[in-house]
Structures are given as structure tokens and as C-alpha cells.
Structure 1
Amino acid sequence: MNRLPFFVYGTLLRGEANHDAFLRGRTLSETPATLTGALLYEGPGYPYAVETPEAHGGVVHGELVTADPAAYPQLLAALDELEEYAPGDPAHLYERVARDVTRTSDAARVRAWVYVAAPTVAAELRASGQLIKGGDWRPR
């Protein structure tokens, strides 16, 4: 299993609804980071990152979360369940994909797992979704 860190941008951020239940005590670090090539859309109480062609820009602000190695398998399973991600399930809401994110503190590019809107959800959001201007879930 590829044990990448996670890029979180919504309810898993520090101070948000799911942070303590899923991440507290299971991480080594949580540092500000950005994902380029995506736009952030409102969901029903949580956001969706929707990937865009590089020419369209877009930046999503969030945090790069490095999991405690001892907690990694359980954390990965819990986050997949939270995000309703099941490989090969056409009805899932998110896809877990490996993407490069930029750590804000030193501009380092880091490969991380990111939960992005599944293709059907992304198409609906592009057509009629509410864009979160600035790509930051917190000040919405």
C-alpha cells in the first residue's frame, strides 16, 4: 500500500466538524497546503474539489496531513468510508487520487491522497454547482 499523506480541505480541517473524530491522535503533522488545478464547490454541508484542466487554473486551500504510521491503515479505511469512496463503485461521491500539493511553509511539492468529486458529481457541479470563491472552505 502506498502510504501517502492526505490533503484535506473541508470538514477534516482543524476546527471543523470531522477533524477530531477522524484525525485527532492519528497524525504526525497537519500543515497548510494548496492543491492547484481544482475548484472548490459547495456540497450539502461539505465541499467538493473538482479537478479542472491546468489552463483553467484554480486553487484549493487546505492542509497536508501526515498520518501516524501505526494508525495509517485504520485512518485510510475510515476516510474512505467518510468520503463514501469505494473503488469501482459507480455511485461513489468522491474518488481518492494521488496528486501533487504545495506545502505553504516552504513551497515543497508533496504527493498526497486527495478526495476529489467523482465524475458524475463533478459534471453536475460544473453545470449548476455553487463555486466557493477563493477555494477556501473556512471563510465561506
Structure 2
Amino acid sequence: MSTPGMPRLPFFVYGTLRPGEHNHTWALAGRTVREEPATVRGLVLYEGPGYPYAVAGDGVVTGTLVEPDPGRYGEILHVLDELEDCVPGGTANVYERVTAEAERVGGGTERVWLYVAAPPLARRLCEEGTPIVSGDWLSRAR
């Protein structure tokens, strides 16, 4: 559930949580009040085992800005943290939830939560991972 004092930001999703992808269907569909295209600068996208990882770098990642239904925010936060193997403050995380500035396709920016590869995994991806050059999971070669 959400932590007292923690901002209730929208989420920036860039892989299997995007509309039309399999995790969106069960985790987010029908639970949001807004979904719109967006990008985040300062990230590089890497191939994962059926899903991508975002890592800090000199790139732009394409995704979707998703605003949960306010009455379901805590539920969605819990579901997404669990899906992303993210325990805030945990040491064995696969992903970490961080804040970033998303650029809406229609103009303007918005502060968001997004999940990036945790530091040990991020280092390994930078050394030997396969980047998704386009920065768009949906346009990668399949």
C-alpha cells in the first residue's frame, strides 16, 4: 500500500505494462483514469527475458503515462511493486521505483514513478546487455 507522505504520482510504463501488452490486461486495465503516450529522457532500454529493463544512460525511452484510479492507487502500487520485484529499501530488488520527468506527446512534462533496473543488474546490462536502440519496446525486432 502507499506509504504516508509518499507522492501519488502517475506511473511511466515502457514494457509489458503498456496498453495492449499482457501485463497491462490483468494489472491495469479498467483501473486507470488516464493513459497517454510519453517519453523519458536519460534512459537506455535493454532486452530482458520477455520484458525490458530501463537503465540510466544517454537515450530516450518511449512508453505510456498511466494514472491509477485514485480509489485504487494503493492497490495498483502494491501490484506493480510486486510484479517488478521491488521492495522499497530492499537489497535484492530486480527493479527500483524512482521518480523521473515524463514528456507528454501532446506537450508538457509530468513527474512520474518508473521502474529501472536495480544497480547490480544495471551494471551487468551496461557491460553485456542488448540495448533496444529505438528506446521503444513495442518496435523492437521480435
Assess same fold via TM > 0.5: yes
What do residues 6-41 of structure 1 show as CA deviations (whole Å, max 9, x unaligned)?
A: 000000001111011000111001100001000000
Within a 5 Å distance, the mapping from 1:46-65 to structure 2 comes to 46-52=51-57, 57-65=58-66
Within a 5 Å distance, the mapping from 1:100-115 to structure 2 comes to 100-106=101-107, 108-115=108-115
Two-structure CA RMSD over aligned residues (Å) = 0.7
- Alignment partners' CA distance in 2, 1:139 and 1:114: 20
Do structure 1's residue 124 and structure 2's residue 124 form an aligned pair?
yes
TM-score by length of 2: 0.93
Deviation at 1:79, TM superposition (A): 0.1
Identity %: 54
Gaps of 5+ in 2: 1-5
- Alignment partners' CA distance in 2, 1:88 and 1:98: 15
- Alignment partners' CA distance in 2, 1:49 and 1:127: 14
Gaps of 5+ in 1: none
Aligned to 1:35: 40
- Alignment partners' CA distance in 2, 1:35 and 1:14: 17
Deviation at 1:133, TM superposition (A): 1.1
- Secondary structure in 1 aligned to 2:137? coil
TM-score by length of 1: 0.94
- Secondary structure in 2 aligned to 1:99? strand
- Secondary structure in 1 aligned to 2:22? coil
- Secondary structure in 1 aligned to 2:55? strand
Deviation at 1:88, TM superposition (A): 2.2
- Alignment partners' CA distance in 1, 2:49 and 2:90: 21
- Secondary structure in 1 aligned to 2:139? coil
What do residues 101-140 of structure 1 show as CA deviations (whole Å, max 9, x unaligned)?
A: 100112x110000100100010000000000011000021
- Give the aligned length: 135
- Alignment partners' CA distance in 1, 2:66 and 2:86: 18
